[in-house]
Amino acid sequence: MPREAIIHSSDDDSFDDRNSNNQDDLTNENATDSKSALRRNAEEDSALRPKRMDEMIGQRDVFERIKITVDAALKRREPLGHILFDGPPGLGKTTFAMCIPAEMGVDFQIASGATLKAPKDLIPYLTNATERSVLFIDEIHRMQKAVEEFLYPAMEDFRIDLTLGEGVNARTLNMQLKPFTVIGATTRAGLLSAPLRDRFQMREHLDFYTNEELASIITRNAQKLSVGMDDEAALEIARRSRGTPRIANNRLRWVRDYAVSRAHGFINLEVANKALEMQGVDILGLDPQDRKYLDTIQRVFAGGPVGVEAVAHTMNVSPDTLVDEVEPFLLRSELIVRTRRGRILTEQAIYHLKAINRK
């Protein structure tokens, strides 16, 4: 049964460690190398992730509202109301979800909507939930309908209805749960049913970070990774990180490796530029996949309008990857627009592709 262990608020690294357990299927000759590289990345991810709310940078409006509810819940000694975070990947949904129980000094558990296929998958999480603890459900939009309906009374009245036996002998058992908090995260708020959405007292949308906010995150994380860097370089990496802390951390790690290998371990503007160019990251922060998406719409579909499925098939990637990971930043940067007839490239995108191809 897909169930994560209860994590006590003091076990800071437990969540990130779980990412490093997903590597058992590496069987080729390089498996050991890849495994240790993945483990190193997972460990670094854990080291870079803020552990307390005060370490979080950006998202000030959301941050202030969460601080107030956490403070009020602590003062009233009550569980926090259920909270839903939505927004593109890598913007801090999980980080918020982990910092909140740390702030409150309560236990938390982590589940993934994709692995909750039947109510029985959810039962252990609910029965294990301790007083005022947090149950974080990532990708909550992927939860099956039956699981969702099973969750309703748990969220509303801290109660579940278990059906025992079958047919005429079936009886329903009411089970009382400890008062607890569900924190849901989704990249697709639109896919959530209205009854589920309405059961969250707070719904918070996370938006892209400013370059200055990302530069602060990068500067702080360079210190954590023990690499020297100047402010210009931090801002340049920030500009090329698509407004997303996870991407900023990945870019920083690559630039750090490049600096160690080619530049005596110090990151200045020139080193940052060279490292990012080598990775195919352009001045807008777009990587080869982003440009391939724009280029496909331009070349194959004459600039659009075109449906996302058609673009995905031509690129040989899943439409979900495009919708979740590629399109949000391109939309926000006004490189594409979404119309009822499909995606259309903007003048700005055509100009950008021309400029890149001229190089």
Tell me which of 45, 138, 142, 346 is the catalytic residue. 138
Contact 147, 184 (CB under 8 A): no
* Beta strand pairing call for 181-186 and 171-176: unpaired
Considering the complex, state which of residue 205 and residue 299 has its C-beta at the smaller distance from ligand ADP: 205
- Give the x/- contact pattern for ligand ADP in 57-76, rule: CB under 6 A: xxx-----------------
Shortest approach of ligand ADP to residue 309 CB, angstroms? 24
Cα separation of 312 and 296, whole Å? 9
- Establish whether 246 is a catalytic residue: yes
Contact 39, 32 (CB under 8 A): no
Segment 233-252, which members bind ligand ADP (CB under 6 A)? 245-246, 249
Q: What angle do CA 297, 248, 333 make, to 5 degrees?
A: 35
Q: At what angle do helices 245-262 and 31-48 cross, to 10 degrees?
A: 120
- Establish whether 94 is a catalytic residue: yes
- Establish whether 187 is a catalytic residue: yes
> Does position 49 bind ligand ADP by CB under 6 A?
yes
Contact 323, 293 (CB under 8 A): no
Q: Which stretch binds ligand ADP (CB under 6 A): 53-61, 65-73, 126-134, 298-306?
A: 53-61
> Does position 217 bind ligand ADP by CB under 6 A?
yes
Contact 121, 114 (CB under 8 A): no
Number of amino acids touching ligand ADP (CB under 6 A):
20
Q: Pick the binder of ligand ADP from 6, 42, 45, 258 (CB under 6 A).
A: 45
H-run or E-run covering 243: none
Cα separation of 219 and 234, whole Å? 6
Considering the complex, state which of residue 240 and residue 246 has its C-beta at the smaller distance from ligand ADP: 246
Considering the complex, state which of residue 49 and residue 251 has its C-beta at the smaller distance from ligand ADP: 49
* Beta strand pairing call for 134-138 and 108-112: parallel
- Establish whether 117 is a catalytic residue: no
Task: Name which of 170, 182, 122 is nearest 146 in CA terms.
Answer: 122
DSSP string for residues in 155-206: HHHSEEEEEES-GGG-EEEEEE----EEEEEES-GGGS-HHHHHT-SEEEE-
Tell me which of 132, 240, 246, 291 is the catalytic residue. 246
Shortest approach of ligand ADP to residue 117 CB, angstroms? 22
Considering the complex, state which of residue 186 and residue 346 has its C-beta at the smaller distance from ligand ADP: 186
Q: Which stretch binds ligand ADP (CB under 6 A): 45-53, 115-123, 127-135, 163-171?
A: 45-53
- Establish whether 138 is a catalytic residue: yes
Shortest approach of ligand ADP to residue 347 CB, angstroms? 31
Give the active site residues: 93-94, 138, 187, 246
Give the binding site for ligand ADP (CB under 6 A): 45, 48-50, 56-59, 89-95, 185, 217, 245-246, 249
